[in-house]
Amino acid sequence: WELYAAGVLQNPNILVIGSIGSRKSTLVKSMLFRGQAFNRRGWVTDPKGEYAALAEAMGGQVIRQAPGLGRVLNPLEVATGGAEGLSQTEAKQRRLELLLALAATALGREVSPIEQTAVEIALVSLTEVTPTLPQVADALLTPGKATAAQVHMTVGAYSEATRDAALVMRRMCSGDLAGMFDGPTNIAVDHDSPLVVLDLSEVYQHRGAALPLVMTCATAWLQASPVLSRHLHYGVNEEAWATISDPALARWQQQSYKLARQTGRANVAVLHRLSDLTAAGAAGSEQVALARGLLEDAGTRVIYAQPHGEIQAARQLLGLTDTEAELLPHLPAGTALWKVAQRSFIVEHRISAIERAIVDTDARMRIA
């Protein structure tokens, strides 16, 4: 935040890349822990359930979310009003972008023009200040003559053309995802919490195919928190591959990054390797271009040791010098190449005994 205020960084976002065992998650946890001293808050979408100990140590809040727990999060909530909020027009656009991203991902294809129009009409028809996914699904599934007339179609033709999108919205409210995002939020975020962790480990373990949808909904809900938006805060997206693996979600994430400066948030995306950014699609595809945009939208890149097979991708994507590229395969655990704006540093992350007990993700591997 200080470098951004000084004009050194163009954005406050951070990209952390490292293979298993490189201690990338240790770094992120340490940043959250130390940031508390400077009144920096944070939220984490946690697919593996690794941040509970940190939240407990910081006096934070852990929300375990999975079907059947009775905890509902409304991803269509958007922080509006005030200096940090969006206007009502911006809020409607943000909701539309999220719904279209979810629909395209679940359908496995781009949303058609009539489907996009139908979702937009459904949103406009809802008069509630904060609509819910079931309301959007109902509006799509039961269009009236007036709705169909807006696009000069019969009700039958309109229903047939938009049925797939309607059923996708319904799936988010029923079936294997029932009880997670199908109504108004019934969970209160602790106003004094320095860290909010949304534990999605049960979804990760048992409903892996739905993880991209769930993480996107969870991230949208966390981003709307009026509690965090009043403070400079980190927004951590662990296992970020899940939300850049689909072009629709990648576009939505890119838009989220654009809002970082408006909300005082430093987005932190955590990946295993640089090739995750290019494996999302064929060379030259929109998907790869969007994934590479993640690098451009991250003013700070932290790169831990990469295998020799990743060096060429690192050289191309990060514009590494020969010396930097040669160093990457030989960096010891806990040491990384930091690219901060146009400058580079080799940084060794040192942790105290107090931190070690709450940031170590390898403890279970050492149980006697």
Q: What is the pLDDT of residue 291?
A: 67
| DSSP code, position 246 | S
Q: Is 105 exposed, middle or buried (0-12, 13-18, 19+ CB in 10 A)?
A: buried
pLDDT of res. 259: 72
Q: Which two tokens stand for residue 83?
A: 């200096």
Start-end of H helices in the chain: 2-5, 24-35, 52-58, 88-107, 113-125, 133-141, 145-149, 155-171, 201-206, 211-223, 241-244, 247-258, 260-263, 275-278, 286-296, 311-318, 322-327, 353-359
Q: How many CA atoms lie within 13 A of 9 on its CB side?
A: 20
- Write the pLDDT tens digit of every residue in 311-344: 887 887 788 888 999 999 999 999 999 999 889 9
Res 364: pLDDT = 47
Average pLDDT, consecutive stretches of 10 residues, N- to C-terminus, the chain (368 residues): 90 89 92 93 91 93 89 83 64 88 88 93 85 91 91 92 90 83 87 89 84 86 73 87 76 77 85 69 62 80 89 81 90 93 93 85 50
Identify the bridge partners of residue 196 per DSSP, sorted by sequence position.
43, 61
pLDDT in tens, 205-259: 887 788 888 888 888 888 877 666 678 899 998 887 777 777 788 788 877 777 7
pLDDT of residue 365: 41
Q: Residue ranges of the alpha helices (H) in 75-223? A: 88-107, 113-125, 133-141, 145-149, 155-171, 201-206, 211-223
Nearest to 234 by CA among 5, 15, 3, 7: 15
Confidence at residue 150, expressed as pLDDT on a 0 to 100 scale: 93
CA 315 to mean position of chain CA atoms = 26
What pLDDT score was predicted for residue 151?
Answer: 92
Q: Enter the tokens of residue 80.
A: 């509006």
pLDDT of residue 368: 45
* pLDDT attached to residue 30: 95
- Return the C-alpha torsion angle 285, 248, 188, 87, nearest 10: 100
Give helix then strand counts, H and E, for the chain.
18, 9
Distances (CA, A) of 3 to 6, 9, 76, 102, 252: 5, 6, 33, 35, 26
